Copies of this chain bind each other. A is one copy, B any other.
Amino acid sequence: MVQRKAKQKTKQKGGAEWSHNHDHRLCIVDALDRAADLCAGRGARLTSIRRRVLELIWSSHRPIGAYSLLEVLKQERANAAPPTIYRALEFLLEQGLIHRIESQNAYIGCPNPDPDQQHKGMFLICTDCGNAVELEETKIDRLLRNSASNQGFVIESRTVEAAGLCPECQVS
């Protein structure tokens, strides 16, 4: 088990997520550490390509497209091609380490990957700065399930993406 700095980091609540000038290096390190732990625990192989793609995705809090990732990866691995990226994305999605933002055909790191099950996130996405924050709204999830259940529908997975202005971008 990798010792992680994450344990020392106090997680702030309530909008701190939107701060445009946090120490983002910590986000990256934490994400990579968590990923390593999770994969180790599952016997899943976080190869160097996969690790690097995850790192690139975590290079910001903005969803990033497959071909943007490819552009960067190509500078390091001349033979990187679309399948290189898409395979890595597939793996990371399966492991619950990233989410796909359907409304943007883009990918974003999961800040809280669940060791037991991979969840689908709920996101607030700023139309101005592009940053996206994942919500953990069990209430909404429950309400949605109930609502579906009223029609006899059983939800297996869901996509919730809200676009708008983050607190920092409202000052205009």
Q: Which residues of A contact B (CB under 8 A)?
A: 14-15, 17-18, 102-103, 122, 124, 126-127, 133, 135, 137, 139-140, 143-144, 147-148, 150-167, 170
Known: A140-B143, A143-B137, A152-B170. A102 touches B159 (CB 8 A): yes
How far is it, in angstroms, between the C-alpha of A158 and the C-alpha of B160 when the chains are bound? Answer: 7
Closest Cβ of chain B to A46, distance in Å, is 27
How far is it, in angstroms, between the C-alpha of A154 and the C-alpha of B135 when the chains are bound? Answer: 14
Contact in complex: B137, A166 (CB < 8 Å): no
Number of copies: 2
**Chain B residues positioned under 8 Å from A147 (CB to CB):** 135, 137, 139-140
**Chain B residues positioned under 8 Å from A133 (CB to CB):** 151, 153
Contact in complex: B127, A154 (CB < 8 Å): no
Contact of A103 among B18, B102, B167 (CB under 8 A): B102
If over half of A's interface residues share one DSSP class (helix, strand or loop), that class is named, otherwise mixed; here it is: mixed
Contact in complex: B137, A153 (CB < 8 Å): no
Contact of A162 among B14, B17, B124, B144 (CB under 8 A): B144
Closest Cβ of chain B to A22, distance in Å, is 15
How far is it, in angstroms, between the C-alpha of A15 and the C-alpha of B162 when the chains are bound? Answer: 27
Closest to A137 in B: B147
**Chain B residues positioned under 8 Å from A160 (CB to CB):** 144, 158-160
Closest Cβ of chain B to A65, distance in Å, is 15
Identify 5 new A-B residue pairs, CB closer than 8 A, beyond the known A15-B151, A139-B147: A135-B147, A152-B166, A152-B167, A152-B170, A156-B165
How far is it, in angstroms, between the C-alpha of A144 and the C-alpha of B125 when the chains are bound? Answer: 13
How far is it, in angstroms, between the C-alpha of A15 and the C-alpha of B152 when the chains are bound? Answer: 7
